[in-house]
Each structure stands twice: as C-alpha cells, then as structure tokens.
Structure 1
C-alpha cells in the first residue's frame, strides 16, 4: 500500500491507547466476518424441516435487532459511562453469550430456540458498544483526526466482509458451524481483554487532559466538566435540529437500500438467468470497492462534512442505476463496485458530525440512539422489498430504489448548500483551531471557537443513511 494512502491514519496509530486496541478490534472484526456465514448456517442445521427459512430469519434478526431494545431499556444505567467501559462491556457480553453456544452444543442441549435466544443476548449491548468505540475516539483524539479514526475502524469491518465469508466456508466444512461461532466468541473475548487492559491508561489520559485543559484554556473549559445529561439520546437528538436531520438522512438512506437484499438475488436468478456465483461476484465487487473507499475516506479531511454526506448518497444512487436499467453484467458489476467505494465514507463522516455536534459528554447516549434507529432501517426496507419485488418485479424495484436514493442525495445537497452560521467552524475536518482537543464537552456550543456543525437533512428533514 502506498505510504501516502496511510498518511491521514498516522495520528491514529500514534495514539498509545488506540494503538494497543487496534489488534483486538481487527480480531473481533474478523470474527464478525466469519459470523456472516456461520450464524445462518448453524440456524439451518438446527431448524426443523420445513421451518428453516423462518428460523434463519429469526437468527439473523436476533443477531442485530435486540440492540435497539437495549438502547431504550439500559440507557439509564449506561448513558454516563466512558467509551472504553461501554465497548468493553459489549465485547464481554458478546463473548459470553456466543461462547455459551458451543458449550450448550457439547452438553447436548443446543436447539434452535436456545440458539436464537443466545444470539439475542449477544446483541443486547451492541449499539452501546459501537457508541463506546467512537466516543473513545472523541475522548482521545482532536476533532481533525476523528474522520480518519472512524474510517480506520470501518476498514477493519470492510476487510472482514471480504476475508471472513470464504474463510468461514472452509472452517465450516472442516469443523462445523458451531465451532466457527466459538471462534467468533473468542475474538470478542480478545477484544474485551484489550479494553480492560487499556482502562487505566484511558483514565490517566483523561486526568492529564482535564488538568492541562483547565490550566491552558481557563474559562473555555469551565463548563466542560459538567456531568452527562439525564435525557435519553433520543430526546437529545429530538431537541437538536442538526442531529435530527442527520439521523433522518441516515435512516432514509439505509431504508431505501433495504429492498436490494431481496430484489438483487431475484434479479440475478430470474432476470440475468445467472448462478449463485454471479451473485457472489457482485457482493465481492461491492466489498472490494468499500474497502478501497474506506482507505480513501481519511483523505476527505478538510471537506465540508454535510456536503460529503449528500454527495455519497447521490453518487451511491447513481452507481446503482445500471442494475435497475438492466445493464449487462460487464457494466453493472464495476458499477456495483463503485457503489461500494462511495458507500464506505458515509458512516465515518456521519459519526464525525455526531462527535463534534454532541461532544463527548452526551455522545454515548446520542450514538447509541442513532445506532438503535439505523439498525432498524435496513430490515424495515428489506421487509418492503418482498412485496415490492412481487408486485413490480426485481429490476423495477432496483430501479425505484436507485432513483429514490439519488433523489434523496440531491435534496440533501440542496439543504447542505444553505449552511447556517453554526456550520462555519465545524462542518469540515481541520485544520485545528487552538481549542481543538479531545476531552469531555457538553452538548451544544460554548463560545465562538466551539460552534457545532449544523446538519439539515432533506426536507427539514427526511431520514437517511445505509
């Protein structure tokens, strides 16, 4: 890899705490890549004859959706915790619940109902764990490095979606799906230990930051040590038009992409008369494109973040048009790879906007609420994809989604072209100002040097983001 491509990520590798966490994060990402295949395969093996489709759907849902309930039910106890604590607890719960699956198998008591229940427990803290990771980034790095750090964490997942599934296939053939789940559990155990080991260093850095910040910046930090809001993340977002607009854009983006998971396989089999290998080639092309896009995301530093998000959505919709228009594979396959490339910057950029708008004090609540809402978006869109594909056909459904996503991006771009005064200081990622440093902050601006970015999502705004 050319050294210039890694240039934006050097400050991330240079941060001592993050540098110690990166191996554990990469290991758990690989475990999740293995689980993409193992979770569904084990459900197929455990489900009774005639009910395999139903239980497979339950297993996939259980591995993701309970986190939305965990955000609502556990906010009172988890909202004020540090990023490292939240991420560490999530990794511990996932390791324990997933590890119980092979244990139950050895004890001879594993059935499909218990399997789905354990998957549900494993995902209960997942939005809090994701919020904790990105809160830790905001706690340890200045704002100008947030986008690169967010992108680097995303790159691990993107690489795992390329390497994990074929590796899982080999391991399932060799030892069985239940033991691939065991490997996934072990990967989260490694991550949990990694967070536990860095907790003392995180606390020391926080203490030094607070002392140095108070000494260097005087009154500017006077209000930054206040405790986290007692409001839930949902209420914080609802009362802030910028955060509500960003969440709306993200929800709509992910929702409109959901039908692709139904229409795409039907399009390949019925319209293209192609094999499963062709479908796999599309997903592999998307994964390779997203990996490259993730590596390039750090180089977007300095560009207005709202404009970047609108551009990602519009370009993503445009890249999907060849599929909807029935282009041959030789054209639609590279277009799908391009879609993966432009998809990759969305989540790191959206997270960077949350990080600077909310500040680290309320950030765990806000990010967990954002995760709870967006995790529902794709399944809801996928549920719509079934009847839409049956009514319209696969290719028209793909075309309708592509056009809708393109239109959403254009509306978002129109909104981004009308920035408010708050967007002038923090709508881009650098260079840093004298107050650009990590550390706890309350939601909202403090003075003229600390104005949050304003994010108006479409139509004041509509939901969106994959």
Structure 2
C-alpha cells in the first residue's frame, strides 16, 4: 500500500508541474494557465467532502483500485488527444477536473485502510502513520525535480504519460498485494443521510473540530508563505532566486526526517505536548527568522528544523482520526477534514500578496508569525485536547 501511494503521489507531482507548463507552452496565456491550475485544485475540495461516503460504501480497497484505474485513463487522455490533434482547451479543463475528482477518493481510501493493514502487519500505529506520511513527503520531494527534468528533456507531455502509468501500477499493487480486510456490514441509509452522519460526528467531536480548524488556518498561512513570501524574500532580501527553492526544499527534507524519527520514537512520547510543540515550531521560527532578516545560512538551518518539527504533525493527526472515528464513518469524516484543510489554501496566496503590497514584506512576515503563534495555542490551553492522551478507542 505504501508503494502504491508513493507511485500515486509521484504521479500527482508530475501533473502539478507539467500541466501548467503544458498550458503555458501551448497557449502562451498566464490567465488560461491559472484557470487550469484552478481546475486541478477545486475538485479536490469537492471530492474529498462528498466522496468519503462513497468510499465507505464501496470499501477502502475497491475504491483505491477503481479510483486509480479511472484516474490513470483520464490522465493519459490529454497527451494522447494532443498528439492526435483532438485536444481543445475546454476539453482539457474537463479532463483535468474529472481526473482530480476521481483520484481524491483513492487517496482517502488508502489513508482509511492504514490502521487495518497496520494491525494485520503487527505494526504500531505510530510507526505506520509516520511511514505513510514519510512516503508521501518523500515522493513529493522526488516528483517535483523529476517533473522538471522530464519537462526539460522531453517536453510537458511525457510527465502526463508517466503519471497515467503510475496510477495503473498503483491499482495493480493494491489489487494484487494488499490483503482484504474483514467486510463490514453496510449501512442501509441513503447517501445524504450517510453524508450528514459523517459531518455530524465531526461537529460533535470537539477535539477533531479544533484540530481541523488549526489545520485550515495553517494551510492558508503555509500557502501564502510558500507561493508568495518566500519568493519575495529570495528576490528582495537575498537577491538570488535559488534561495526560494533551497528554503522550500529545506522544509520538505526536514519533514521527511521528522516523520522517520517520530515513527521510531513516537509511541514513547506524550501526544498532546508533542503535537503542540511541533505545531508551534513548524510555523513560528521559520517565518520569524525571515522577518528578522537573519543571514541566509541561519534562515536555512531554522527552516530545516521547522520542517523537522512538522514531520510529526500528520502522523499524530492520523492517530487521532483512527482512534476516534468509527470504522463505518472513517472515510467520510477524513474526507470532510481533508476538504476543510484544502478550502482555505486558495486564499493564502491572495492574502500574502495583498498584505505585502500594502504593508511590505517584513510587516507581513511579522503578521503571519503572530497568527502562527495564536493558532498554536489550543493544545496547551483547551481542556478537550487532554483527550489526545487518553486513547479513547473508536467504535467498530
């Protein structure tokens, strides 16, 4: 399952870089390129929010295989149609929208089946969730430079072919290598009732609701930092565009290392305190050091350490979800949380760009630092976060 997810994630990164370049290369329009990017991100929110119920209905393993098969065919269609002269821009947008609509349930399903497979393998859930997150982050790190190399050498069409192949291989791995888990009795309620049940559960669980709210805000801030503020810092402070890539890479490399370390020692750490400290350190220092105009070498070191702290966040969130969400609701609740996490991201770049234009880069970085501090407070002060250490089991 981890190998299948690695292939799928690598393919996603190929598409995320190749499609904008493909559109810009064939149309020459930045506006059309932006519209294509929207067609790749917006369906993730829709599919994550409304597809989780279907994942619970069909079953995790079946959904993963079907999602990858359909996504593989959809992602192969644009380059094949382009080579035969049958690809129009509106058709490309439709195919992109459908491709990301189809692939999101597969990712939800693989995440939802993780505790069952960990139990079959006799692996502690801390190690399994850290391995899942580490493989995801590592694949994203590999996929981005690989896409750049393939685009440079062979043009933007080839990465889309490779993406399609990765989906088909992922489906084959899950179908042939992932064992079936015990079948659960399917609910007799309709789709809308099932969807409402998942949302109602999330609303009642104050701990997971608080965790989701924190992730929504931090994803918004992280998007603004990554898409706008780091680029401005590299241009205006360092004077070298390579600083942008180095700082972005330092976060990713640190996060991979952090997930590996958490997988090794996480079961011996207090979850609430670990999560609170890692959440605080993942955001505040790396933005504050930029606001203070520290030397670039210091900024790189602090950024890598912040990335290291971030490596424990997703595994702990996964443990929280697996321990509290009933199995029959797992995919739809995880899907709702994923949709919420993505929902604020499109606003992050707009907020960062607007604030930096009005107030300047330094002031914007300080403002982001303050918000990072405030959103990191709940695990330390809210009583509901004490439940993170209580280990309440989920219903079956």
> Does TM, normalized by the shorter one, top 0.5?
yes
In the other structure, the counterpart of 1:372 is 339
Name 1:136's counterpart in structure 2. 113
**Would you say the 8 A contact 2:50–2:335 is kept in 1?**
no
Q: Residue 286 of structure 1: CA displacement?
A: 1.7
Map 1:130-169; keep pairs closer than 5 Å.
Answer: 130-142=107-119, 145-169=124-148
Q: What does the per-residue CA deviation read over 1:259-283, in whole Å, with 9 as the maximum and x for residues that have no partner?
A: 21212211211233x2221211111
Q: Do the aligned partners of residues 76 and 318 (structure 1) sit closer, same or farther apart at CA in structure 2, a change above 3 Å counting?
A: closer
Match in the other structure for 1:461: none
The aligned runs of 1:322-333 (5 Å cut-off) are 322-333=289-300
Label 1:394 to 1:87 Cα distance change in 2 as closer, same or farther (>3 A): farther
Query: 1:228 & 1:83 partners in 2: Cα distance?
Result: 18
Alignment of 1:252-267 (within 5 A): 252-260=217-225, 261-267=227-233
Q: Which residue of 1 aligns with 2:194?
A: 231
- Contact residue 5 and residue 136 of structure 2 kept, 8 A: no
Within 2, Cα distance between the matches of 1:225 and 1:254?
A: 36
Correspondence 1:194 to 2:160: no
Corresponding residue to 1:296 among 261, 271, 276: 261
Task: Tell me the number of residue pairs that the alignment of Structure 1 and Structure 2 aligns.
Answer: 386
Which stretch shows the higher mean deviation, 243-252 or 23-32?
23-32
When the two chains are superposed, the root-mean-square deviation of aligned CA atoms in Å is: 2.5
Check 1:263–1:188 CA distance in 2 against 1; reply closer, same or farther (3 A cut): same
**Following TM superposition, by how much is the alpha carbon of 1:314 offset from its aligned partner in structure 2, in angstroms?**
0.8
What is the CA–CA distance in structure 2 between the aligned matches of 1:182 and 1:313, rounded to whole Å?
Answer: 38
Out of 392, 412, 419, the position equivalent to 2:379 is 412
User: Is the alpha carbon distance of 1:156 and 1:122 closer, same or farther for their aligned partners in structure 2, counting shifts above 3 Å?
Assistant: same
Among 271, 276, 298, the alignment partner of 1:305 is 271
Partner SS state of residue 396, structure 1 = helix
Using the alignment, how far apart are the partners of 1:96 and 1:441 within structure 2?
37
Tell whether 2:312 aligns with 1:349: no
Q: Mean Cα displacement is larger for which, 190-199 or 284-293?
A: 190-199
1:116 to partner: Cα distance: 2.7
- Cα 1:81–1:278 change in 2 (3 A) is same
CA distance in 1, matches of 2:4, 2:104: 18
| Contact 2:51/2:335 (<8 A) preserved | no
Give 1:354 deviation, angstroms: 0.9
| Structure 2 residue 158 is matched with structure 1 residue 179 | yes
Unaligned runs of 5+ in 1: 1-20, 208-223, 428-435, 443-466
- Does the 8 A contact of 1:258 with 1:377 survive in 2? no
Query: Where does 1:377-456 land on structure 2 (aligned, <5 Å)?
Result: 377-415=344-382, 419=386, 423=388, 425-426=390-391, 441-442=395-396
Partner SS, residue 194 of structure 2: coil
Q: Say whether the 8 Å CA contact 1:101–1:182 is kept in structure 2.
A: no
Write the distance in 2 (CA, Å) between the matches of 1:33 and 1:416.
Answer: 39
Structure possessing the higher radius of gyration over alpha carbons: 1
User: Relative to total residues, which structure has the larger helix share, 1 or 2?
Assistant: 2
After superposition, the Cα gap between the structure-2 partners of 1:360 and 1:378, relative to the gap in structure 1 and judged at 3 Å, is same
Question: Which residue does 1:250 correspond to in 2?
Answer: 215
Q: Distance in 2 between matches of 1:72 and 1:415?
A: 27
C-alpha displacement of 1:126: 4.0
> Which residue of structure 2 lines up, in the alignment, with residue 336 of structure 1?
303
Corresponding position of 1:69: 46
Does the residue aligned with 2:41 lie in a helix, a strand or coil?
Answer: coil
1:423 deviates by 4.9
Q: Distance in 1 between matches of 2:298 and 2:245?
A: 16
* Match in the other structure for 1:35: 15
- How big is the shift at 1:106? 1.6
- CA deviation after TM superposition for structure 1 residue 98, in Å: 0.7
Residue 86 and residue 302 in structure 1: after superposition, are their counterparts in 2 closer, same or farther (change >3 A)? farther
Distance 2:222 2:172 in 1: 36
Alignment partners' CA distance in 1, 2:383 and 2:221: 20
Deviations 1:144-188 (A, max 9, x none): 722322221222222223322222222112221111111011101
Aligned partner of 1:241 in structure 2 is 206
Q: Which residue does 2:57 correspond to in 1?
A: 80
**Cα distance change of structure 1 residues 226 and 92 upon mapping to structure 2, 3 Å threshold:** closer
Contact 1:305 1:353 in 2 (8 A): no
